[in-house]
Amino acid sequence: MSNWKNVNNWHWVNKNCLKWAQKYFTEQLVGLEAQRDGKKVSISKMVDCSGDVDLNQRKGKMVTIYDVALKLDWEGVLNDGTEVTGSISIPEIAHDTDSDDYFEISINDDNNAKQEIKQIIRKDLTPLLVKKFEGFSAAMIKENSEDVYIEASKLGTPAPPRVVHKETSSSTKFGTTSTSNAEPEKKAHVNTTTITDSIDFQTSAQELYETLMDTQRAMVWTRGPVKLTKEVGSQFELFGGNVTGQILELVPGQKIVQTWRLRSWPAGHYSKVTMTFEQGTESVDLKVEQTGVPVGEEELTRTNWSGYYWRAIKGAFGYGANF
C-alpha cells in the first residue's frame, strides 16, 4: 500500500514553522554576548517573534519561505559598573534582506554616557546574530523535514493508477502533440467550483504585472527555471512542471487571463484564472478569480497560490512584509 500522505513526494506540501522558529530563536539568540574595552553586552530576552515561516516540499525538493520580525531585549555593563538595558528590533528577516539593514537599537533611560555601548552592539553583537540568521533555513529543513518529506524507503508500493483514457498520458506533457491517428475519446467529467482572492501589494500595478509575466523575475520568486512569454496563446510552465497553462489575454498593468492546472489534477483538465489589477494611491489590489477548480482541490489550490505565488513574490521583491 502506498503512503497516503504524499505518493512519491509529488504534491506540494507545506508546514507552518512559526512556533518552531520562536523556540529556535529563543534558544539560539538569548545569551549571546560581546565584550570590548571592559564593556559587556548580551541578549537577555526574546520579546517577540512574528511573521510567516513555512517549510515547503515540492517534487522532493525542500524550500523555506519566511518573513520574520524579531524584538530582543539586551543588557550591558559599562566600565564603571553602570548597568544599561535596551532592545533590538529586526523588522524583517527574509531571504533577500541585507544584513546592514537588520537592526534598530534603542537604549532605556538614554544619556550620552550610555551611547558608547551602541557601538559594541552594532560592531560585535549583531554579527553574532547574523551568523545565527544564516543558519536558520538549514536548521528549519533539518528539524522539520520529516513532516513534509517521506523517505523513499517509507513510501511503500505505489497504489494502482486510476483508469484513464489512453490518450491522456500524452496530454499531460508540456509542449507535446499527439501523433496518433486514433479517434480522440471524451474526457471524464470533473465537478468543479470557483475560488476568489484579493491580495494587496506595496507596489504599482505595472510592476506587479511585470513580476508575474517577466521570465527573469518569475525565476526569482519561483526559485527555478520557468517557461513563460508575454504572448497571447503561449504556454507556460512553473515549478518544475507542477503548474502549466496557456496565456489567453494580456493587458499590461491591468489584466492577465490564463488557463491553469496542477499536475496532480485529472489529466487534461484546466481551470481558468483571471487576474485584474486595481491601482491605489500607494499599493495595488490584485483580484483573482479561478473557475473550474476540481471539487476537493480548493484548499490545496488556495494554499499553493498563497505560499508559492503571493508570499514568495512579497518575500523576493519586498512588496509588503506582512502577509
pLDDT digits (tens, 9 = 90+) for 162-177: 443 433 333 333 333 3
Q: Which of 197, 211, 215 is nearest to 319 (CA)?
A: 211
pLDDT of residue 183: 42
Q: Which of 132, 136, 148 is nearest to 56 (CA)?
A: 148
Of all helices (H) and strands (E), which one includes residue 135?
none
Distance CA 246, CA 232 (A): 8
pLDDT of residue 166: 38
Instruction: List per-block mean pLDDT (blocks of 10 residues) for the chain, which spans 323 residues.
Output: 39 75 94 92 94 72 79 92 91 62 81 81 90 85 71 44 38 34 54 93 92 90 90 94 94 96 91 95 93 91 90 83 39
pLDDT digits (tens, 9 = 90+) for 283-311: 999 999 999 999 988 988 998 899 899 98
CATH class of 192-317: alpha beta
pLDDT of residue 103: 86
pTM, whole model, 2 decimals? 0.47
Distance CA 58, CA 263 (A): 12
| Residue 125 contacts residue 106 (beta carbons within 8 Å) | no
Going from the C-alpha of 289 to that of each of 69, 272, 276, the distances in angstroms are 31, 8, 9
CATH class of 13-145: alpha beta
Distance CA 202, CA 318 (A): 8
Going from the C-alpha of 321 to that of each of 10, 106, 119, 304, the distances in angstroms are 30, 22, 28, 19
Cell 515549478 belongs to residue: 239
DSSP per residue, 56-113: EEETTEEEEEEEEEEEEEEEEE-TT--EEEEEEEEEEEETT--GGG--EEEETT--HH
**Domain segments of the chain: what residues?**
13-145, 192-317
- Tell me the β-bridge partners of 125: none
